[in-house]
Amino acid sequence: MDKTRVKEALSTALMLSQIASKKHKVKIDWLGEVFIDNNYSAYVSDKGKLTQLTSANIDEKAEELIHESFEFSVKRRIKELSYI
């Protein structure tokens, strides 16, 4: 997963939350489903956890997403190898 694209996706979610006047559920590449309301945005991580996004935690959440994606990918590959 590309860190720059993940940060851009997170920034897009934050920007949308700042201009939203009602609730929305959107799908953003590199991020998936994002729930947006007036100054609130949250995404569902690969582990199925709803995670709130703020401008203060954007770098931390980008790192978490990249780590989760890598972990998920490794687990999927191990399962594929066990079927061979």
- What residues contact residue 74 under an 8 Å CB cut-off, 6+ apart? none
- Reported as a single tens digit per residue, the pLDDT across 35-66 is 998 889 988 877 788 888 998 999 998 998 88
* CA atoms of 64 and 75, how far apart (whole Å): 16
Q: Is the pLDDT of residue 84 over 70?
A: no
Q: What is the mean pLDDT of the chain?
A: 87
Q: What is the pTM of this model?
A: 0.76
Query: Which residues share a beta bridge with 40?
Result: 37
Q: Is the pLDDT of residue 17 over 80?
A: yes
